[in-house]
Amino acid sequence: MPPPSDADYMRRALALARAAAAQGEVPVGALVVRGSEIIGEGANRPIGQHDPSAHAEIEALRAAGRVLGDYRLTGATLYVTLEPCIMCASAIVHARIDRVVFGAWDPKAGAAGSIADVFAIPQLNHRVDVFGGVLAEECATLLSEFFRARRP
């Protein structure tokens, strides 16, 4: 059996995003994979947790850190349904994630090329390979439907 693909992992992130939407949170899901094992999952929870840092990526990084007993997540890939913001991109760099794969681009807050590119700052001590657009239409549709239902 072949290992899961980027699209397979993004489908799991989409399931996490849908669960966030069911809780009234902006539907973003993320997971951290090392080898072929999911070592951390997260979904947006800032509203329910009263915590502005409770983005899906941060939740997934925290979970993976607990599993490994280390904040350095070398050799791992983070999958997320929406392009990371500046806060999340910075945390990804500090966690030493090797690779980020995201779904939809975020023209209002994206920090992997949309409004900024944190991953390309030459002074940072770690490089992250970034790939966007995996299941982009499905990820973007989930977000647009969520906001359309709340903003008539």
Instruction: Please identify every residue annotated as catalytic.
Output: 57
Sheet holding 76-82, edge to edge: 37-43, 29-34, 76-82, 99-104, 129-132
User: Which is nearest to 81 in space by CA: 12, 22, 151?
Assistant: 12
DSSP state of 112: B
DSSP 88: H
Answer yes or no: are the C-beta atoms of 42 and 30 closer than 8 Å: yes
Strands 37-43 and 129-132 come out as unpaired
**106 backbone dihedrals φ, ψ, rounded to 5°:** -120, 95
